[in-house]
């Protein structure tokens, strides 16, 4: 079974973040610039929360707040995290049950990366394709 560590080794460990005091408009610009749906909210080296496009839509736009609203006012906290040893299947279960799209990866108390539901779906498809190829190879012997 594929682990989160293997996913991060393949996709990279780049994490984009903002501070809790940053204006939400800066966070949205950063997400747009990097074509991502969520940012970690970091207080120095400490994970304080996560902010997503959904948070912006529900907690800023629909409530009539401005772009200068601090990220800390709309971020989700505490954050659901996984370790690098978690399996793709375990993560799929988490994102399904908890209705989240992003999982920060924490190892020894430090952020080691972030995976998205898209990363998980790609991994599941790759595993299934590999199984199909193995079965076809077995059948054609």
List the chain pLDDT tens, one digit each, 141 residues.
899 999 999 998 999 999 999 999 999 999 999 999 999 999 999 999 999 999 999 998 888 888 899 999 999 999 999 999 999 999 999 999 999 999 999 999 999 999 999 999 999 998 888 888 888 888 877
Written as six digits, the tokens of 2 are 């594929």
pTM of the predicted model over 0.85: yes
Rg (the chain; Cα; Å): 18
Domain encompassing residue 9: 4-139
Which CATH number do you get for residue 131?
3.10.580.10
Cα 23 from chain centroid? Answer: 21
- pLDDT tens digits, residue range 43-70? 999 999 999 999 999 998 888 888 899 9
Q: Count structural domains, the chain.
A: 1
Phi and psi at 83, nearest 5°, equal -100, 165
């Amino acid at each position: 079974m594929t682990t989160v560590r293997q996913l991060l080794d393949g996709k990279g460990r780049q994490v984009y973040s903002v501070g809790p005091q940053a204006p939400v408009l800066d966070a949205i610009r950063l997400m747009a610039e990097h074509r991502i749906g969520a940012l970690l909210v970091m207080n120095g080296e400490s994970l304080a929360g996560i902010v997503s496009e959904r948070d912006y839509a529900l907690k800023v736009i629909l409530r009539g707040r401005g772009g200068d609203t601090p990220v800390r006012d709309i971020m989700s906290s505490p954050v659901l995290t996984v370790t690098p040893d978690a399996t793709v299947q375990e993560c799929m279960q988490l994102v399904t049950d908890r209705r989240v799209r992003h999982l920060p990866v924490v190892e020894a108390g430090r952020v080691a990366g972030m995976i998205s539901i898209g990363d998980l779906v790609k991994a599941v498809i790759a595993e299934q394709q590999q199984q199909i190829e193995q079965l076809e190879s077995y059948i054609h012997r």
